[in-house]
Copies of this chain bind each other. A is one copy, B any other.
Amino acid sequence: MSHFPNHFEENYLKALYKLQRKEIKKVNNIALAKYMELNPATVLEMVRKMADRGLVEILPDKTIQLTSQGEKKALLVIRKHRLWEVFLVEKLDYSWSEVHDLAEQLEHIQSEDLTNRLEAFLEFPAADPHGDPIPDKNGKLRTAAAINLLEGKTGKTYMVKSFGETADSFLDYLAKLSIRPGTLLRVLEWNAYDNSGSIEINNAIIQLSEKVAGNIFVQLHTT
């Protein structure tokens, strides 16, 4: 009987969740192994165990996918991680750049009740010190309210959520720029003269007028 089954499992779950969220590519065994800095044989073995436990599904094309149960568990680990980070910064005066490794230890403490009390003690923070949202006790990540792209901060990446205008001419223009819900936009600069923005999209740089940017609603995107 192993002593720390959860510790390992939780790290695999988190890794899988992180990789999956990038949705750039399907997550395969090699990618997971690389990300976790482990040997592919090791990872394959563990992934199979987790499949038996119903946490993961191995699709016909060998893609590794979290089941809804697995995803929930992953989010509950992330919840713990982020709550502890808040604790470290808010209560123990750590700076936000120091807390990740400590949270990596604390996230494995096993007690739902403790986690919930910690959350209450911290007065239900919405996000961790890095701005990442904290899943609720059911593992639900309530999506942050979308903001106007004009409010986007220089250097940050945002995901397009919706638009504030339905005119065909507007939508056609967006289509021409390949902007649609889900598109990632990085704010490079706001130009003071006309409030237009320099935006990076798919490695290209485009200019958006104030009027256009003001009708694009986005959310902060964290890698």
Which residues of A does B touch, CB under 8 Å? Answer: 3-4, 7, 88, 91-94, 102, 105-106, 109-111, 114, 117-118, 121
Task: Determine if A92 and B117 form an interchain contact, defined as CB atoms under 8 angstroms apart.
Answer: yes
Q: Which of B88, B93, B109, B121 contacts A106 (CB 8 A)?
A: B109
- Alpha-carbon distance between A171 and B7 when the two chains are bound, in angstroms: 58
Q: With A and B bound together, what is the CA distance between A46 and B111 in angstroms?
A: 29
A-B contact pairs, 10 of them (CB 8 A): A3-B4, A3-B7, A88-B114, A92-B114, A92-B117, A92-B121, A94-B117, A102-B114, A105-B109, A105-B110
Q: How far is the CA of A111 from the CA of B92 in the complex (A)?
A: 13
Q: Is A118 a contact of B92 with CB atoms below 8 Å?
A: yes
In the complex, which residues of chain B have a beta carbon less than 8 angstroms from the beta carbon of A102?
A: 109, 111, 114
Chain B, residue nearest A8 (CB): B3
How far is A109 from B106 in the complex, measured between Cα atoms in Å?
7
